[in-house]
Structure 1
Amino acid sequence: MSTPTADKRLADFQEIPVIDIHPLLHGDDQARREVADELGRAAREVGFFQMMGHGIDGALREGLIHQAKRFFAQSEATKMERYIGRYTHHRGYVPPGEESPDPAKPDMKEAFDLAFELPDDDPEVLAGTPLLGPNPWPDLDGFKEPVAAYYDAAYHVGRALMGGFAMALGLAPQQLLQHVNKPPSQLRLIHYPYNPNAEDAQGIGAHTDYECFTLLLPTAPGLEVMNGAGEWIDVPYQEDTLVVNIGDMLEIWSNGEFVATSHRVRKVKEERYSFPLFFACDYHTDVAPLPELVERHGKAHYAPLKAGDHLYAQTIQTFRYLRERLAKGDITLPEGARAVGSLGQHGKHKEAPL
């Protein structure tokens, strides 16, 4: 688990830092190190930041948003033709109520999920590796190209951030990137329908993200982050920024120096959209506190786990169609599967309620 000192740092924050990463993408070594230092401070003290200078063109962002609106405007029957439960690679349409970290409190949103594209004849797909494979693109003219273009651009930025986070930990940029080749990095197109009866409660329930980190393109306010004192801090909406947060895998690799901070989405009446890219490492990566960090801290604060198995186990426990397959014996939980929300800041608060 992370140290009391880390919890003290989290307790202090009342706002979300803003970081310009343009020098990380285009600057010299000194400029990249300076941005890496900023990334490290944000990852240690907040677990969240807003990112400027990412270079993802406004036309790409608008193209993604436009296609999402087109997809979700279709009839339920048409959207269900790409229902996520029809496929073996966990991609496709997620209807309202399908997903719920807490089965008793389903998230009332809809989504279209896609991920790193691999062809049917890729060795990992032929081997049946969960979460890896092709995307079931909708039969909607003009949809695939702009959505895939946004994915590629955001994934490129994610690779740069991964190198920056490694530098912030005093490592070579490639030390973590060597584990990012065919990752199950998922892009979600999320739609919160207009709900005149909504009360400020759960939109997406409080959670930490399972992967290394998340790059979020929001289109409206509503995201809140929990500080170490258990207070919910608003993430201001800024049109040209992406929101980045640390996930479980990076917290483990950093041995708790970086914190996967709990966050939620307020439940509001207004219709809105959201686009997170969950940046993951390769499925078969063994994630454990890095030796350099264990030496620095004196001991390992986390048990090792396999990245893909952890992600798959969390997904099975979160989606209704997979829970049903599990109950029928069609699939099994990976060995050593952890309960949903057992890692990161959210897990610590479950163990020791504030």
Structure 2
Amino acid sequence: MTSKTFTEIPVIDISGLYSESIEDRLSVAEQMGKAARDVGFLYVVGHGMPADKITALRDAAKRFFAQSEAEKMKYYIGSSASHKGFVPEGEEIYGTGKPDKKEAYDVGFPAPHDHPLVKAKTPLIGQNEWPALDNFKEPVLDYYEAVFALGRKLFSGFSLALGLPENHFESMITCPPSKLRLIHYPLDTEAEDRPGIGAHTDYECFTILLPDQPGLEVMNDNGEWIDAPPIKKNGEEAFVINIGDMLEVLTAGKFVATSHRVRKVAHERYSFPLFFACDYHTLIRPLEQFDDGSAEYKELSIGEHMYSQALQSYRYLREKVAKGELSLPERATGVATFGHLKNNKPA
């Protein structure tokens, strides 16, 4: 496995992915593959995301989180039929075993009522919960559609980087459990420079993050935390992309789901990650070109992996598991299973 002793996050202009020239697309894919192998994180610019969609999303999030706790709790995720809605502070627990200091609103792929996965009551798949707040649903869904389209384009680049056809994963992305999170870190004037979200990897294929303040840190192989602050290039905000557990499995560890955390910082912060996944029942195993027979990675169902991690991270789901109302999927993996976390416990 390649040593990842990086000290900064690479910046890649992905405008070539939109070129009609295969040479241009391959050039970008090569850069993406190198970043995925050497770091597991990359900034992308040249993505073409309209600035007004980003502004509208931020405005909607700020207005929602400015409401009273009682109003927000009307849309509590624990009351949702498909694990969507408001996530209050302290609801999630990561590897540190301590609740993280943030609140969030979770939005999923807009699955229609009559979709077979919805009818089958597949975990994580179903209708979104929308607050009775003017001008919230529309800009959030608008952004979701745009950033999901960006995810498809990025997946074509990762496919080329893996030596696969650009459309290799297209048939596996029809109604995925791909979640957009609107995250708010409240102002904390007494915050010290210490972890806010415990060190963790992301469960899906990759994440497309739009942050607005510093705080994100990425761990290298030396156990050092490297800052990944928001950046702009030519006036365009960069997205932060990181490899998730599923791409680590596909590449038998050549791409690593690099551990990361959010520092506790003394300023208000908003963050918007889209966790890009394949369809729930997609089986993920090391690709033939990466599997030499010694791979330690077992076959996983994307949906089962994501659901099992949620069952072990969200307070309301943990309580249901403890009461025997829910159980972990047969192929469930524990937390801290991928990336650096499988070998050591970060500070």
TM range (shorter): over 0.9
Corresponding position of 2:130 = 137
- Structure 1 residue 201: deviation in Å? 1.3
Corresponding position of 1:211 = 204
Is the helix fraction higher in 1 or 2?
A: 1
Corresponding position of 2:261 = 264
Counterpart residue identity of residue 299, structure 2: P
The answer to whether the aligner puts 1:305 opposite 2:300 as a matched pair is yes
3-state SS of 1:204 partner: strand
- Per-residue CA deviations over 1:256-275 (Å, capped at 9, x if unaligned) read 11111001111011011000
The answer to whether the aligner puts 1:340 opposite 2:335 as a matched pair is yes
Instruction: Tell whether the 8 Å contact from 1:310 to 1:338 is kept in structure 2 after alignment.
Output: yes
The answer to whether the aligner puts 1:46 opposite 2:39 as a matched pair is yes
Change (3 A) 1:327 1:247: same
3-state SS of 2:99 partner: coil
Corresponding position of 1:18 = 11
Instruction: Tell whether the 8 Å contact from 1:289 to 1:301 is kept in structure 2 after alignment.
Output: no
Corresponding position of 2:224 = 231
Matches within 5 A, 1:1-354: 3=1, 6=2, 8=3, 10-11=4-5, 13-102=6-95, 104-239=97-232, 240-294=237-291, 297=292, 299-350=294-345
- Structure 1 residue 233: deviation in Å? 0.7
Report the Cα distance in structure 2 between the residues aligned to 1:185 and 1:166, rounded to whole angstroms. Answer: 18
- Structure 1 residue 334: deviation in Å? 0.4
Instruction: Tell whether the 8 Å contact from 1:325 to 1:331 is kept in structure 2 after alignment.
Output: yes
Report the Cα distance in structure 1 between the residues aligned to 2:19 and 2:280, rounded to whole angstroms. Answer: 30
Change (3 A) 1:104 1:298: closer
- Structure 1 residue 204: deviation in Å? 1.1
- Structure 1 residue 27: deviation in Å? 4.2
3-state SS of 2:91 partner: coil
- Structure 1 residue 26: deviation in Å? 3.3
Counterpart residue identity of residue 328, structure 1: K
3-state SS of 1:174 partner: coil
Report the Cα distance in structure 2 between the residues aligned to 1:160 and 1:128, rounded to whole angstroms. Answer: 29
Instruction: Tell whether the 8 Å contact from 1:103 to 1:318 is kept in structure 2 after alignment.
Output: no
Instruction: Tell whether the 8 Å contact from 1:190 to 1:274 is kept in structure 2 after alignment.
Output: yes
Unaligned runs of 5+ in 2: none
- Structure 1 residue 321: deviation in Å? 0.4
Report the Cα distance in structure 1 between the residues aligned to 2:172 and 2:290, rounded to whole angstroms. Answer: 18
Counterpart residue identity of residue 143, structure 2: Y
CA RMSD of aligned residues (A): 1.4
Q: What number of residue pairs does the alignment pair up?
A: 343
TM-score w.r.t. structure 1 length?
0.94
Runs of 4+ in structure 1 displaced over 6 angstroms? none
Counterpart residue identity of residue 259, structure 1: V
Instruction: Tell whether the 8 Å contact from 1:50 to 1:242 is kept in structure 2 after alignment.
Output: yes
Instruction: Tell whether the 8 Å contact from 2:245 to 2:257 is kept in structure 1 after alignment.
Output: yes
Counterpart residue identity of residue 52, structure 1: V
3-state SS of 1:124 partner: helix
Counterpart residue identity of residue 244, structure 1: I
Report the Cα distance in structure 2 between the residues aligned to 1:171 and 1:121, rounded to whole angstroms. Answer: 33
Report the Cα distance in structure 2 between the residues aligned to 1:301 and 1:38, rounded to whole angstroms. Answer: 27
TM-score w.r.t. structure 2 length?
0.96
